[in-house]
Amino acid sequence: MQEKLTAITGSMGYFLPEIAIVISLVLLLIAGLFNAGRLNKLYQVLALAFLAVTMVLVVGQWQEVGDLVRPLPLFNNMVQLTSVSVFWKMICVLGAFITVAMGFGNQDFKDKSSEYYLLAFGVLLGAHLLVMANNLLTIYLSIELLSITAYILTSFSFNAASKEAAVKYLLFGAAASGVMLFGMSWLYALTGTLTIDDVQFLDGLIKANALPFTLAAIMTLAGLLYKISAAPMHIWAPDVYTAAPTPVAAYFSIVPKLAGIGILMKWMMVINLFGSSPVNWTIVLATIAMISIGIGNFSALWQNNVKRLLAYSSIAHSGFLVAGLVAYSETAYKAILFYSAIYLLMNMAAFLFVNHAEKEWGYTKVEDYKGLINVQPLLGVALVIVMIALTGLPPTGGFTGKFLIFSALWDSYVESGNDWSLYLLIFGLMNTVIALFYYLKLPYYIIFKNAEQKPQKQLIFSLQNFIGFFLVVMILLSFFKPDSLMRIINSVSFAF
Amino acid sequence: MSSEYYFILAAALFCIGLAVIITKKNAVMVLMGVELVLNAANINFVAVNKNNLVSLDGQFFALFVIVMAAAEAAVGLAIILKLFKYYKTTELDKINQLKG
């Protein structure tokens, strides 16, 4: 008993970012009690300040874990602090920061703004716990924390469509997490422990029969795939992205998804059972990746709504992230980290500009962007660059990210003779060509079409556009000088 | 009684829950199906933990799941209530504004 209590108090020192998130959540809740309608801006500034503090704490943690060889178990091994998890936490906090900087768009419901920021902190807390999780209970609880707050955030447009999206998200999510939970209960039955990196856990799974193990692992995988919106659990994504407020859609495309990828990386290492797994998981993952990339790209071809298009593109991007898992090597995992960082930059930039166009000019369809380059040259050029980056063409970081993933796949084909890596590589390359058609639809309308009626020239200088342009510069820089990001990623160790 | 019976009961409950989720058209009924699935998992957790005197992981997991199910039901019913305000129905077939 005494030991356990000391372990808990000793862990507190390594838990500072999460404690900061909880404290800021409570403070925002209290601040929300005072005349919420008029203090809208104040809540945003408060939330940004809290996130900045969290970021400082996470960066502090990064320096602490730098010389850590083994993962650091916290709270009796319920969560584990590793350099990988701290990297994911940095990405999540950055994503939350940009989302909060986009502000609370709904002018009619200003009194709900403190709740909006509060729920965003809830999602962030879930993501932080998820990337550190080392126990089935922690995984389940943090996924539920992510999901339940996300359901409410989806409905924050306060119209019929967003309620519909929220109910679809909710029912689908509840079913997926229920199935995941049942899978977890089987894993517990097979092993008798909940700690996923425990010797007893791995031993139990190796000794278990092939069929129950496979079923349990696939059921657990379903819940994780739902969080990263990879096929076949992607159906909610287009509706939710279309109907939710644009900042929320941006948030969903970054934080829950990348946190899900973070835990999936660990989970694949566990159920691979040091290569003695009865199922060849590379085939399963390669199929998932191919279906995700295919569905994402082909469905996006017919889309007219920009947010829906970005939703399908985010499904395709999860496919590419899962493709990194197929290669299953340290280089591949580093490629995933790089791709995620770039994905954060380019997706956030896209959503920032789309959000601006939607709020200021009411643009929702691709045709609305006609001749934007004549009216707002700077914004037009920035959007074109972002779309090129999302396609994965040089001279942008998107190319570097895709290149690293594909070369990791090629390496895994050459080194281990894994045919599926090759198939996936060819499929991915072909799909990049298909992706050109829909990603370049927007630049086509922006540059080559002339607007019938031009929106009046307006100043486009605001905090969010400033961040957007900064992200565009970063996307370009990450192509020409990826070394600093690479240096950060290279100091990550995947010790397990 | 051996644990086997509990597992069979849990599996049956899981299948019923999943069938309810898939076949029912009413949003509230789907949520009820989800509750069945969660309780099936709970039975498994408690049954596995039955003879283990050292750790109570499974029992605690079941408690957490019950709390989470309550939270999920609260949020779910709130959203369904708001949905009813806009559509005047909770039949999922009739709620199809978003397409494509």
Running along chain A, 496 residues long, what does each successive block of 10 average in pLDDT? 85 91 93 77 91 94 79 87 91 94 79 88 95 94 94 90 92 94 94 89 90 93 91 90 92 94 92 84 92 92 90 93 89 92 94 89 84 84 92 89 92 87 91 88 85 65 86 91 85 71
**Given this model, what pLDDT does residue A453 score?**
63
Identify the residue among B72, B94, B95 best suited for mutation to test binding to A, counting A beta carbons within 10 A and taking the highest. B72
With an 8 Å Cβ cutoff, the interface of chain B facing chain A consists of 7, 10, 14, 17-18, 21, 27, 30-31, 33-34, 37-38, 40-42, 44-45, 47-48, 52, 55, 57-58, 60-61, 64-65, 68, 71-72, 75-76, 79-80, 82-83, 86-87, 92, 95-98, 100
Residues of chain A neighbouring B38 (CB-CB closer than 8 A): 178, 181
Q: Do B98 and A165 touch (CB under 8 A)?
A: yes
What 3-state DSSP class applies to A133? strand
**Given this model, what pLDDT does residue A120 score?**
94
Q: Do A136 and B40 touch (CB under 8 A)?
A: no
Structure token digits, residue A39: 């203090």
**Given this model, what pLDDT does residue A452 score?**
66
Residues of chain B neighbouring A237 (CB-CB closer than 8 A): none
Domains of chain A by residue range? 280-496
**Given this model, what pLDDT does residue A489 score?**
84
**Given this model, what pLDDT does residue A113 score?**
84
Distance from CA of B1 to the nearest CA of A (A): 16
Distance from CA of B80 to the nearest CA of A (A): 7
**Given this model, what pLDDT does residue A303 score?**
87
Distance from CA of A171 to the nearest CA of B (A): 7
Q: Do A175 and B30 touch (CB under 8 A)?
A: yes
Q: How far is A437 from A58, CA to CA, in rounded Å?
A: 40
- Residue pLDDT, tens place only, A52-72: 999 999 999 988 887 677 788
**DSSP β-ladder status, A72-74 and A79-81:** antiparallel
Comparing alpha-carbon positions, the chain A residue that sits nearest to B87 is A160
Q: How far is A83 from A62, CA to CA, in rounded Å?
A: 7
**Given this model, what pLDDT does residue A278 score?**
85
Which of A168, A194, A305 comes nearest B61 by C-beta?
A: A194
Q: Do A163 and B21 touch (CB under 8 A)?
A: no
What 3-state DSSP class applies to A73? strand
Q: Do residues A230 and A148 lie in contact, with contact meaning Cβ atoms separated by under 8 Å?
A: no
**Given this model, what pLDDT does residue A123 score?**
95
What 3-state DSSP class applies to A195? strand
Residues of chain A neighbouring B57 (CB-CB closer than 8 A): 137, 188, 193-194
User: Chain-wide mean pLDDT for chain B?
Assistant: 91
- Residue pLDDT, tens place only, B55-77: 888 999 999 999 999 999 999 99
Comparing alpha-carbon positions, the chain B residue that sits nearest to A308 is B100
DSSP β-bridge partners for residue A133: A79
Identify the residue among B65, B67, B80, B81 best suited for mutation to test binding to A, counting A beta carbons within 10 A and taking the highest. B65
Q: How far is B77 from A129, CA to CA, in rounded Å?
A: 26
Whether A215 and chain B come into contact, CB under 8 Å, resolves to no
Q: How far is A101 from A95, CA to CA, in rounded Å?
A: 10
Comparing alpha-carbon positions, the chain A residue that sits nearest to B74 is A148
Q: Do B97 and A161 touch (CB under 8 A)?
A: yes
User: C-alpha angle with apex A244: A241 to A247, nearest 5 degrees?
Assistant: 85
Q: Do A144 and B17 touch (CB under 8 A)?
A: no
Residues of chain B neighbouring A189 (CB-CB closer than 8 A): 7, 44, 47-48
* Angstrom distances, CA of residue A259 to CA of A295, A344, A389, A433, B78: 22, 12, 22, 28, 27
Q: Do A155 and B10 touch (CB under 8 A)?
A: no
Q: Do residues A182 and B41 lie in contact, with contact meaning Cβ atoms separated by under 8 Å?
A: yes
**Given this model, what pLDDT does residue A214 score?**
93
Q: How far is A313 from A324, CA to CA, in rounded Å?
A: 17
CA torsion sign, A293 to A299 to A303 to A305?
negative
**Given this model, what pLDDT does residue A455 score?**
60
What 3-state DSSP class applies to B26? strand
